[in-house]
């Protein structure tokens, strides 16, 4: 009984990291950059044929560099969009191949998913990604171990816009994502609506200029997520 309890704890404990900072520290899962200099704007769930180009246009106007945590199954659908992100000078990172909760996946299925994601994303972008964020921000113990075995850096976030919800509005997204921004913050946004409410990316695009203005007003530069290492 005790052995089973310990095993289940090892499997599930990392899942609390996004909302319980002491768990994140215990599991060595960064919520922030290792440096207190700079803010990292990150986007999950893409690429998207409309959302990603719209986000790229806003970033280009602000001369801001960001990190895109791409999902392999969407890269297969839109490889040219993924390539455009890399060509624009943004950082490419991994969000897995399928957008499925990792707690439901066996170690073997995880390994297959991670390798497939790396192959697909690398082939489309010409980049070998080294930073990983799980779907829904939820790690299992085996997934976290495998990420480290692959030499990837796990990363969650310290600020988010909750931009995936149906009731989210641009003003609220911007206010939530930019509240009390400081050096070292990692901001979570989404450039796609594949796994969230329809057209949620439009609200993110509308909120993004205000978020970028807030970063600029803080005096911090835009940096990429790999600076968490």
- Render pLDDT for 5-56 as a digit per residue (tens, 0 to 9): 334 447 689 999 999 999 999 999 999 999 899 999 999 999 999 999 999 9
**Alpha-carbon distances, residue 198 vs 49, 76, 151, 168, 203 (angstroms):** 14, 21, 35, 12, 10
Q: Which residues are catalytic?
A: 44, 190
How far is residue 78's CA from residue 82's CA, in Å, rounded to a whole number? 7
Task: Report the C-alpha gap between 202 and 7 in whole angstroms.
Answer: 42
pLDDT band at 76 (very low <50, low <70, confident <90, very high): very high
Work out the average pLDDT over 75-80. Answer: 98
Give the predicted TM-score (pTM) of the model. 0.94
Task: Assign 3-class secondary structure to 180-200.
Answer: CCCCCCEEEEECCCCCCCCCH
Domains of the chain, earliest start first: 21-228 (3.20.20.370)
Looking at residues 186-214, what average pLDDT do you find? 97
- pLDDT bin (cut points 50, 70, 90) of residue 57 is very high
What is the SS3 assignment for 138? coil
- On the question of pLDDT at 229 being above 60, the answer is no
Structure tokens at 136: 């829904």
78 — pLDDT class (breaks 50, 70, 90): very high
């Amino acid at each position: 009984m005790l052995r089973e309890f310990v095993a289940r704890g090892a499997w599930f404990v990392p899942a609390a990291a996004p909302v319980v900072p002491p768990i994140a520290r215990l599991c060595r899962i960064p919520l922030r950059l290792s440096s207190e200099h700079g803010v990292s704007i990150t986007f999950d769930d893409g690429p998207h044929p409309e959302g990603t180009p719209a986000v790229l246009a806003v970033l280009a106007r602000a001369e801001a560099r960001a990190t895109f945590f791409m999902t392999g199954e969407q890269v297969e659908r839109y490889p040219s969009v993924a390539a455009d992100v890399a060509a624009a000078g943004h950082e490419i990172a991994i969000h897995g191949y399928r957008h499925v909760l990792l707690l439901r996946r066996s170690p073997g299925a995880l390994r297959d998913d991670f390798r497939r994601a790396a192959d697909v994303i690398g082939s489309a972008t010409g980049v070998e990604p080294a930073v990983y964020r799980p779907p829904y921000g939820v790690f299992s113990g085996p997934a976290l171990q495998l990420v480290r075995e692959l030499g990837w850096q796990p990363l969650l976030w310290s600020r988010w816009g909750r931009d995936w919800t149906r009731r989210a509005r641009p003003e609220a997204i911007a206010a939530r994502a930019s509240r009390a921004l400081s050096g070292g913050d990692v901001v979570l946004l989404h450039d796609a609506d594949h796994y969230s409410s329809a057209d949620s990316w439009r609200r993110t695009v509308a909120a993004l200029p205000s978020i970028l203005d807030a970063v600029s007003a803080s005096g911090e530069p835009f940096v990429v997520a790999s600076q968490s290492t």
